[in-house]
A and B are shown apart, each in its own frame.
Chain A
Amino acid sequence: MSSALVRMIDRLRERPDRLRAVFFGLLGLFVVYDVFTPRHELHFWGDRVRGFWALFALLGGLVMAKGMKGLGHLWLMKPEGFYDREED
């Protein structure tokens, strides 16, 4: 079973264009699905906006990743032995 799984992954990795197309196709489908999804319980204004959570996730993901990497390089990231010197 595990070798079949490995072969399947190998095959998928050999076809990155198809994978990409499927991925973007799915993203489009999710937004279209949201357009036609009925809203029964609205908690705030964002629930009314079609595709709100798509935008929220994309922007949230980008800002968190870029922000934390930036903060890391600016301040948080230190060499791996940073504390060892003091603790010896």
Chain B
Amino acid sequence: MGLMHPALLFVVGAALAAVLRGRPRQVVLVAVPLVAFLSVNAMVPGTYGTLEYLGFRLVPAHVDKLALVFLNVFTLMALIGAIYGLHVEDTGQHVSAMLYVAGSLGVTLAGDYLTLFVWWELMAFASAFLVFLRRRQASVRAGFRYLLVHTVGGLVLMAGIFLKWMKTGDLSFGPIPADTADLAAYLILIGFALNAAVPPIHAWLPDAYPEATVMGAVFMCAFTTKTAVYVLARAFSGYEVLAVAGAIMTIYGVLYAIIENDGRRILAYHIVSQVGYMVCGIGIGTALAVNGAVAHAYAHILYKALLFMGVGAVLEMAGTSKLSELGGLYRRMPLAMVATVIGGISISGFPLTSGFISKSMVIAGAGADHRTVLMLMLSLAAVGTFLSVGVKLPYFIWFGKDSGRECKDPPKNMLVAMGIAAFFCFFLGVYPDYLYRMLPFPVEYHPYNAYHLSETLQLLGFTGLAFYLLRKKLTPEAKLNLDLDWFYRRATAWFLRIDRRWFEPANEWVSEIYRRVGYRFALGAAALWSRFDVKAIDGVVDGSAYGVLGLGDRVRRAQTGRLQQYIAMAVAALFFLIALVVNL
């Protein structure tokens, strides 16, 4: 049985989106992800269309339970994102978004590293355009930083793939047991970890996502990091370094979210935090923890997209996403408010929402594996999540002091997209079996038990109390917060400064010396060479020529035209040669 590769469907969709306009294009934008979603749900596990190319065995489509759950949520998210962006006229954004999704689906289905790498790079380049196309100076700069960082990550990944090929001659993409991991494996791991925004290689995310277009950020928040989670889950399950790094990520992200001012940057830092739960679960590596990581990826894509859609709507309708310039918008944008509040309570893990049935699975995985420190770190991050996204973000956008900004709820298509994502937040929370059935391992976890409920209510309630006590101190400030992007943003500036101060004058100095000394020396040397050329070289060459001419003249005179003389000379020469050979 064949398989319709969903990535190719999106590539065709991108071509159609480039040439069509108006209603036909809108039909394509919705039809492509819808058909992809339906086809993914009908997929049967197996390996499809293996081919040999330049001595490599390529596997463009390998389907199993792990791939299927990610394909399911990716295509669902593509549909939601397409509906959200239906009103956008900018062709470039639609084409980029389609190619970006194609890259993500291509990676998810790839059964070998070469196929994976091609789709991986398509993702990086297509998504960079979702940043560029906001067409602000800050966006173009952030887009280039994003592209450069991902290019470096891609090179590290490629180095790992080459090393693996040289060592094993095998490029199949599958689990690499932790006890057999070598340099090649760790290079591949770093390449993947960069896309998962694992600190210290995370700063590209909060740098670029808030600078993307409104529609672009909705797509970006879903695909890059979660595709990285998928590849980590496939290849690096059970790596201790991921368990620790993931737990650190969860705290790191929320700490920055607490002090950030820009709504979309708060959400970007929260991606770092939430992806931390997934990375940690993969690192722990037990069936419960990996199931938790995958379930959390599924739930996270939907509620984080909902939050990005809500805050994106604020940016589009009110003209800013900075909390210090917002406040009191619940009267003017009540439906967008409902959407972001649902996203906020879902990410915080309120009972009956998707976060409650997914995040707790990872924490339970850490607890069941007796990883107390990791478990407490993940729980502390849950406190920070509710503090920053569950309370601070909605409070300072929708309530707080009225900013007086004139705005209204966004267009219908944006509200419909938010409605679908909000529906899934509750649907998964109320009916977790829908998600649990898709997970890679059999699930024996029951989130709705009395103690988990009690633990959650205490965590949420008393985090709310902490916010109530510190609400004035938490008032957003119009500031930029230093992060590790400082190293490459400042380092480049310093390099330019050092260049201007030291290298440029040194270059001038050398040029001056050349002008004054080197130039004259060169002229003098050239004159000397010219004389040598005329006198010595030409003399030798001309002398040889005259010699040849004289010899030719003498030979010409020796040619008498008398045959008997030629024969006599030939016989004499023959005797001379015979004598020479005999004597030797």
Contacts and interface: CB of A to CB of B under 8 A. Distances in A.
Contacts of A55: 462
B477 A77 contact: yes
Nearest to A59: B466
B449 interface: yes
A37 B375 CA distance: 21
Contact of B372 (A2, A44, A51, A69): A44
Nearest to A13: B399
A81 B141 CA distance: 14
A31 B335 CA distance: 34
B259 A69 contact: yes
A66 B461 contact: no
Contact of A33 (B454, B459, B464): B454
B479 A44 contact: no
26 contacts: A6-B331, A23-B464, A27-B462, A30-B454, A31-B458, A43-B367, A43-B375, A44-B367, A44-B372, A47-B451, A52-B458, A53-B462, A54-B462, A56-B379, A57-B460, A60-B383, A61-B466, A61-B470, A67-B255, A75-B482, A78-B482, A80-B479, A83-B480, A86-B494, A86-B496, A87-B489
Give chain B's interface secondary structure class: helix
B380 interface: yes
Interface residues of B, number: 59
Given A53-B459, A87-B489, A64 B383 contact: yes
Interface of A: 2-3, 5-6, 9-10, 13, 23, 26-27, 30-31, 33-34, 37-41, 43-44, 46-47, 51-58, 60-62, 64-69, 72, 75-83, 86-87
A2 B465 contact: no
A61 B463 contact: yes
Interface string B64-101: 00000000000000000000000000000000000000
Give chain A's interface secondary structure class: helix
A47 B517 CA distance: 83
Contacts of A13: 399
B556 interface: no
B465 A58 contact: yes
A56 B383 contact: yes
A61 B457 CA distance: 15
B569 interface: no
Max chain B C-beta neighbours (<10 A), residue from A3, A39, A78, A86: A86
B199 to A, nearest CB: 15
Given A5-B338, A38-B450, A56-B459, 12 more contacts: A2-B334, A9-B330, A13-B399, A26-B461, A30-B454, A30-B457, A39-B451, A56-B462, A64-B255, A65-B387, A65-B467, A87-B489
